A = this chain, B = another copy of it.
Amino acid sequence: MGIAERKEREREQRRQSIIDAAEKVFFTKGYDSSTMDDIASTAELSKGTLYLYFQSKDELHFEIMDRGNQILLVFMEKAINLQKNGRENLRLLGEAFVEFSNSHPDYFQAMMFFQSRDVEHQRINEQKLKKFIMGRSSISMLNNMVSKGIADGSVRNDFHPSHLTTLLWSQMMGILVMYAMKKPAFEYQKISREELIAIHLDLIRDGLKPENMEVKNHA
């Protein structure tokens, strides 16, 4: 039977074409100003049809963020250099994020806006969200490099590795979200996103391994 397969394929194509339309509209008008009617007419479908494929506007935002996330992951994978130590790799990951933000500003923006939303109030498929929150590959990658760093002695070992990973992730995301949301404040301070992140990476490079720290293992 090829019909079921064909239908499945067509369903997935339609799904993607709706995300394409949402992307086009979001990237042009911004998330808040985009309406579901805009997206429907861009997709050449009725609004009702959108809801056969997605449960809410938030879920379309989620999908676009997820696409951006896939691209980011490629940047991060490319950035890793296992010849270097863990701490140097953490910096490379940070720099990869900046490169991604420059080469894919629209996806980057969509991701920052998604990160700034309160997850509790979003109507997004529970399963999908859970998978995203728990299994984020970017977190896993960070975690691997933190572990590598602790193993090779380039990263301090007085923090719980997964806590340190979470901190590094939230520092980076947090700074970038703040920059996206409060741009005028940064412009007033005459500091660009690149400069801000460069200083941040320098500061934590040294914080990750204070020179004279004695080595003691974490409980």
Instruction: Say which residue of B117, B118, B133, B164 sits within 8 Å of A188 (CB atoms).
Output: B133
User: Which parts of A193-216 form the interface with B (CB within 8 Å)?
Assistant: 195-196, 199-200, 202-208, 210-213
Contact A203 B167 (CB under 8 A): yes
Instruction: Say which residue of B113, B116, B121, B191 sits within 8 Å of A32 (CB atoms).
Output: B121
In the complex, A119 has a CB within 8 A of chain B: yes
Contact A164 B196 (CB under 8 A): no
Q: Chain B residues near A30 (CB, 8 Å)?
A: 121
Q: Chain B residues near A203 (CB, 8 Å)?
A: 159, 164, 167, 204, 207-208
Q: Chain B residues near A199 (CB, 8 Å)?
A: 159, 163-164, 167
In the complex, A181 has a CB within 8 A of chain B: yes
Q: How far is the CA of A39 from the CA of B132 in the complex (A)?
A: 36
**Min distance, Cβ A122 to any Cβ of chain B, angstroms:** 10
Nearest-neighbor residue (CB-CB) of A119 within chain B = B182
Total identical chains:
2
Nearest-neighbor residue (CB-CB) of A210 within chain B = B206
User: Which parts of A105-148 form the interface with B (CB within 8 Å)?
Assistant: 113, 115-121, 133-134
Name the interface size band of chain A. 35 or more
In the complex, A46 has a CB within 8 A of chain B: no
Q: Chain B residues near A196 (CB, 8 Å)?
A: 163, 166-167, 170
Nearest-neighbor residue (CB-CB) of A117 within chain B = B181
Instruction: Say which residue of B121, B162, B174, B213 sits within 8 Å of A174 (CB atoms).
Output: B174
